[in-house]
A and B are shown apart, each in its own frame.
Chain A
Amino acid sequence: MSAFGLSDTPLDPAALARELASASAGACVNFEGWVRNHNEGKAVLRLGYQAYAPLALAEGERILTEARERFAIEGARCVHRTGELAIGELAVWVGVSAAHRDAAFAACRYVIDEIKRRVPIWKNEFYADGASGWLHPDGTPV
């Protein structure tokens, strides 16, 4: 099974965490990215995510492989949403299991940081004033 996935339907974090279950793991760290109702001082009503799926899947898989090589972890899994999301919905889930917590925390942080930096997924914010804008790393909608 692929460790990185895209989903156009709501994520089930409990089910995803169960996939990491292991008798030799003493730690499981999860990160949940939620849809927030504001950004850069603007009220946000909802988000839309687009992905270039073939490359997003390949790059996401590479990041999880890197995490397993760099940190003393057992399992690493990540799923990112696509499509339209409401405030409070789960946009991205990362889970890492390891024998000990230090590696699990560090690897989880590595995975979400690299996902945000490298995977071809884009966020469109829909604002309360009726405008919308695709976000780029400097926060400037284009």
Chain B
Amino acid sequence: MQYRLLYFASLRDRTGCAAESLVSTAADPRALYAQVAERHGLSLPPERLRVAVNGEFAGWDRSLRDGDEVVFLPPVSGG
């Protein structure tokens, strides 16, 4: 399946891109993050991240569909 990934803050710096399309066999965000973390050498563990799919918060075990927009959200620091 093909996913659209967006990156923010330290993850954007580490991956060197704001967005990328990725063909993957990962069926849920947990598996997808494991692949992405290895591919880009990301050091943030999933316990410190939240997941959003298609613009809404989602669980790590949510079933992904072809074309989904997936975002791994680092701890927020607005305000």
Contact = CB atoms under 8 A, between A and B. Distances in A.
Given A120-B73, A136-B74, A91 B57 contact: no
B16 interface: no
Contact of B52 (A50, A91, A120, A122): A120
Interface in A85-142: 91-92, 112, 115-124, 134-138, 141-142
B51 to A, nearest CB: 11
Given A33-B79, A80-B79, A115-B78, 4 more contacts: A55-B55, A118-B76, A119-B78, A142-B74
Contact of B9 (A80, A117, A124): A124
A50 B77 CA distance: 10
A99 B4 CA distance: 47
Interface of B: 6, 8-10, 12-13, 43-44, 48, 52, 55-57, 71, 73-79
Interface of A: 33, 49-52, 54-56, 58-59, 80, 91-92, 112, 115-124, 134-138, 141-142
Contact of B79 (A55, A116, A134, A138): A116
B74 A52 contact: no
Contact of A80 (B43, B52, B75, B78): B78
Closest 4 CB pairs of A and B: A121-B78, A122-B9, A116-B79, A136-B75
Nearest to A136: B75
How would you classify the secondary structure of chain A's contact residues: helix, strand, loop or mixed?
mixed
A122 B78 contact: yes
Contacts of A58: 55-56
A80 B47 CA distance: 27
A92 B79 CA distance: 6
A54 B71 CA distance: 12
A122 B57 CA distance: 17
B52 A52 contact: yes
